[in-house]
Amino acid sequence: MSPNKIIKTDAEWRAQLNDFEFAVLREAATERPWTGALLDEKRPGVFKCRACGAELFGSGTKFDSHCGWPSFYEAANSDAVTLIEDRTHGMVRTEVRCATCDSHLGHVFPDAPQTPTGDRFCINSVSLTFDEAVE
């Protein structure tokens, strides 16, 4: 286990997160499309995990995929997220979790040929915070 791994009980997470944040981050719920506060965020900066503050995505990899959730074509670094096969809801997808605290972020799909990686990390706004770059 990484020395930076954050492990908390459900009670500790519930004390830190509001009900909706807990449902998405800890129970893999999904926010409704087109409702997230960071969907149209275009300033330079860094997107971090709302639960633990780990740096997840740089604004330079964010793009408009027209899917209703913030989309990125790659994580900030190869250790930022973990990918897990998700067979819920009668389909096979790849779930994206924060590598530091194991919180649910969203899913990644290989359907973005317009990006350098071909990937679309479709991430719930509520799973993220945004820190604007300081010039």
Distance of alpha carbon 33 from alpha carbon 26, whole angstroms: 19
Q: Which one of 49, 52, 98, 122 is the catalytic residue?
A: 122
Whether 103 contacts 88, CB under 8 Å = no
Residues 6+ away with beta carbon under 8 Å from 3: none
Whether 95 contacts 84, CB under 8 Å = yes
Upper half-sphere CA count for residue 101 (Cβ side, 13 Å): 22
Active site residue 67: no
Backbone angles phi, psi at 89, to 5 degrees: 60, 30
Distance of alpha carbon 121 from alpha carbon 127, whole angstroms: 13
Catalytic residue set: 122
